[in-house]
Structure 1
């Protein structure tokens, strides 16, 4: 009763996000985007694009732990409904920013949108509430499939709506958020068994991330995902510049690219990896995904056309599907029942903090050197793989103490 409404909610939420995702790069980078005069340098445009990306990630960084902790305190449903209203306001503000050509309003809208996207760990908490340890990874994969299915349709539709003006995708995304809030209000049942008192602070994310890195069982996986997301964020957020500058993609082609990526990630998370999860544990699959991604991404540097790029996408999607659901499952399994929302919120914020760092400092560089998203992304993923091997390497323990063995390696 919880899973189907939640999957539909995540699908609609991501559909709205995907509608506007592919338009930021041409709107900011291209001379005909309408936000800058032609005299503004490419480096400055790249810097502004990076700040817009980081504003969304900053909202996620602060919003994830706060919404996660609030969901432990007042219930999952109230927070999910509230986050949809916040997203609605963010899209309306973004559309207004485009109309009046105000970068400050766009920054504010992106920040608000990031805060509302902090509801994703709350959705994961609902999954954790209603799942067993045996089917938790599969259910996390299902929510990932719903998420990326929305991201298939969103960019595909948004790129075509942008032909009629950059404000149109924002208006449609706002309508989706409004309908999603009403759907949640009437269809989703509360999954939290009992409300847990918790102290909430605007700097909850900073405090809890510091706390997270002091947890021996979780420290290793958090560090691995932070490094991986540095690379994944660099790759995904700056790919439009790579596609525009290296391959000459327009807004519709960029939208098609992300729709194709989303389609294969949805298929991978929802269908392809499900039988694999029955054969291998999450801790075995995560490093395979990391090394696979590090090896596949550099191939993009040698491609010269859309067809060859689209053949490579399924490989990237499969590796990604081995990373995000398995890491969330590992974090959930290593957390107590009482603080699932809080810990998954921390896990989400660590990822978004990492994703938000590269755009903040690298927008101008990527605009001038468009190969950097692929190069830096693959290097970070290789480092994450090596850190995982080091953090969870087998350790020598006494042969008659199985308990000691579990304490030495909490993933086993």
Structure 2
């Protein structure tokens, strides 16, 4: 199966990311790692947490389009392998930053990790290369399943490894990314048949945002995904603060929460959504996912027990599965074989620009008002839904 090496690559990549993800909120907000002096206020710790989350997203915002364009020029395989080497280095730097209690090194590590994570746009380009219009949505769903399967294992394992020290998950992530680089070199088959010379610009992401909203055929879907990702990013990035303040979660419980979320998103994108895709057009599922997400998130505000929270997650996961693969399909269908790397890089930039913005400015507010990830997230979903109804022409999905 030609898709299998790519799915393994995506799974291992997300496994490495998931290993370290749950530890940042206890590390920074609760100061469990001892990085801050005891007198540092909660508002300041919240600001640093937000910036640490945001710098990763900034890296992916700039990295996605550049890596996508590089993959059009040099091939998918070389760029995927190179990004995994960079990810390995970033996690080693992260472990070093914790050992010597250096926030500057930790920020550098997260920036490099974000740049390397731009490889997901390259993975989506591979899907576009090898898929037909009929099976593209299904293959995007399988890629999402692979990512979230890794994210199930990663947080679950990372939360337990953190009991032996916060540096251990970083070292484990470096090990998995190194293995992923070797897997790509020896098992991945190049999918690009005709290479394209594209000008590489480090500020390509900024230019791509301008280009995204000037493309008549895609402007509507890009606007919808930008607003949706504002809310989704705010919800996923700051949920640990909500869980720690409302349900008094520790690092292992936060890890279990993200593993449970990842499990249901993997099941939804890889299994549940497949027969649904045969009955509904991508734009119909996207519309349905937006309104379901907007309605379900506020229920979390009234949850007082873990069991109730975990019962809610499958519905949120299914709504998410209606959104990301179908949006990627609608975007990909508007491009040609030669421009898939570029167009998926633009799609990646739009999402990561939106995800990067909230943590850069709102960390202190969330630390003081932990309900904000839920209320702001839901509000953005409603806005995205109404933008979709107004701005997106469903006939584009049929072209």
For 1:50 and 1:349, how far apart are their aligned partners in 2?
Answer: 19
* 2:348 is the counterpart of 1:348: yes
Query: Which stretch of structure 1 is more off in the superposition, 336-345 or 237-246?
Result: 336-345
**2:391 is the counterpart of 1:411:** no
Instruction: After superposition, give the CA deviation of every residue in 1:8-32 in whole Å (9 maximum; x if it has no partner).
Output: 0100000000000000000001143
SS in 1 for 2:311: helix
2:162–2:168 CA contact under 8 A, matched in 1? yes
Paired residues for 1:357-376 under 5 Å? 357-376=357-376
Question: Structure 1, residues 365-389: CA drift from partner, whole Å, max 9, x if none?
Answer: 0000000000000000000000000
Determine the C-alpha separation between the residues in 2 that align with 1:2 and 1:324. Answer: 22
Q: Displacement of 1:95 after TM fit?
A: 0.3
Q: Write out the 4+ residue segments of structure 1 that deviate beyond 4 Å after TM superposition.
A: none
Query: CA offsets, 1:261-312, max 9 Å, x none?
Result: 0000000000000000000110110010000000000000001010100000
Residue 411 of structure 1: SS of its match in structure 2? helix
Counterparts of 2:166 and 2:32, CA distance in 1: 12
Aligned partner of 2:134 in structure 1 is 134
Q: Is the 8 A contact 2:43 2:364 kept in 1?
A: yes
**Aligned partner of residue 202 in structure 2, secondary structure:** coil
Q: What 5-or-longer segments of structure 2 have no aligned partner?
A: none
Aligned residue number for residue 252 of structure 2: 252
* Distance in 1 between residues matched to 2:208 and 2:323, nearest whole Å: 23
Who is 2:56 aligned against?
Answer: 56
2:90 maps to 90
CA distance in 1, matches of 2:63, 2:340: 16
1:44-68 deviation line (CA, Å, top 9, x unaligned): 0000000001100000010000000
What is the correspondence of 1:196-211 to structure 2 with a 5 Å cutoff? 196-211=196-211
How many Å separate the matches in 2 of 1:63 and 1:199? 14
CA distance in 1, matches of 2:195, 2:341: 12
State the Cα RMSD in Å: 0.8
Other-structure match for 2:43: 43
Which residue in the other structure is 1:379 paired with?
Answer: 379
Is 1:184 matched with 2:170? no
Residue 200 of structure 2: SS of its match in structure 1? coil
| Corresponding residue of 1:304 | 304
Q: Which residue is equivalent to 1:397? A: none
> TM-score scaled to structure 1, two decimals?
0.96
Counterpart in the other structure of 1:78: 78
> Partner of 2:68 in structure 1?
68
| TM-aligned CA deviation for residue 411 of structure 1 | 2.6
**In the TM superposition, what is the alpha-carbon distance from 1:222 to its structure 2 partner?**
0.4
- Report the count of equivalent residues: 398
Secondary structure class of the residue paired with 1:72? helix
TM (norm. structure 2) is: 0.99
- How far, CA to CA, are the matches of 1:30 and 1:212 in structure 2? 39
Q: CA deviation at 1:393?
A: 5.4
1:137–1:329 Cα contact (<8 Å) kept: yes
In 1, Cα distance between the equivalents of 2:396 and 2:14? 33
Name the counterpart of 1:17. Answer: 17
Residue 121 of structure 2 is matched in structure 1 by 121
Contact 2:212 2:350 survives alignment (8 Å)? no
